[in-house]
Amino acid sequence: MRDLSRENGQPDRSLRPRQLACRCVFTVAAQSLISTFQAIVLGVLQGATELFPVSSLGHTVLFPTLFRWHNVVAWQSQSESPWLAFVVMLHVGSAIGLLIYFWRDWVAIIRAFFATLGKRRIETPDERLAWLIVCATIPVGILGLALEHPIRVALAKPLTAAIFLIVNGCILLAAERFRRRAEVRALAEREGLNAEGSRRLETLEFREAGVIGVAQSSALIAGISRDGVVMTAGLARGLDNSDAARYGFLLATPPILAAGLYKFPDLAGHLGDGVRGAAVIAAVFAAITAVVTVHFLTRYFKHRNLIPFGIYCILFGIFMAIFTVVAGAP
């Protein structure tokens, strides 16, 4: 086989640009503690499961166990390891995908937010939505800073993640039953209905948004879905699946990006040694997958519900619980 590099270490300029690009990607990942294949699989998995209400963190804990990726499994519940830096980049990738898809919404929301600061009152639906996002983001930020590390060390284990995935499925099924209750319909009618006969998103109270933010913090537990919890809380307050999902997608972006900035020193420091190249690859695939996933889900939830996701979480959680016990996983 022909040597792909010259003696001085420079790339062979006879290679085509596509060949050079592919070589650079695989060379970076080859020097990583995580292989290129693992990085791509985890990136695609993150981009999909961050938005499907099935817990991205739970799946990134369970799939390495299922695939017998011992190098990854060994890091997951360690107090100090490259795993957290890698996971942060996965989440940043999916957040970038959300920003790409909802960029028009975010431009309108940011403009509306600064408009309220200038005039010191809220007048439009976009202005109210901006502050609903702020009210829900504050509690998840505070609780995330306080609880992320101890919860990850204690609960980021395959068997625990499988159990909480079952719990997540039960929450999703309960949400669909609860939204049909008479008091929820009465609340929606009292606050104002949209064209589909459900409560309008902008009629949420700020205290309700704060409660949703606290509930969103449960996604720190591997197996509990951020979007699933937000949708469940939204349905309980009279929203339909479409508006509850949109609110969940918008709420996911600020805390994920903030966590990425907060944890970036880990990736830049010694904890990122050996995972930076693979983390970049995984983030790119997470972003691309997130765009495709959110495009599908925004259409799916216009006419469908959470029941298929609840059934999946319960069945996959039971399977992985049995698998981890039989396989002797921690």
pLDDT, one tens digit per residue, over 86-105 is 888 888 999 999 999 999 99
Structural domain containing residue 58: 36-327
Cα separation, 97 vs 288, in Å, equals 6
What mean pLDDT comes out for the span 244-270?
A: 85
Residues 243 and 194 sit within 8 Å (Cβ to Cβ): yes
Q: Answer whether residue 161 shows pLDDT above 60.
A: yes
Q: What is the per-residue pLDDT for 306?
A: 94
* DSSP of 62-127: HHHHHTT-HHHHTTTT-SS-HHHHHHHHHHHHHHHHHHHHTHHHHHHHHHHHHHHHHHSS--SHHH
Cα separation, 191 vs 187, in Å, equals 6
Least confident segment among 8-22, 32-46, 214-228: 8-22
**CA dihedral defined by 44, 45, 49, 52, rounded to 10 degrees?**
60
Residue 100 maps to a domain: yes
Residue 19 maps to a domain: no
Residue 52 maps to a domain: yes
Residue 108 maps to a domain: yes
pTM of model > 0.75: yes
pLDDT, one tens digit per residue, over 30-49 is 345 788 899 999 999 999 99
How many domains does one find in the chain?
1
Residue 14 maps to a domain: no
Cα separation, 82 vs 167, in Å, equals 28
Residue 282 maps to a domain: yes
Residue 23 maps to a domain: no
Residue 3 maps to a domain: no
Q: Answer whether residue 186 shows pLDDT above 50.
A: yes
What mean pLDDT comes out for the span 54-71?
A: 88
**Mean pLDDT of all residues belonging to the chain:** 84
Any bridge partners for residue 11, and if so which? 5
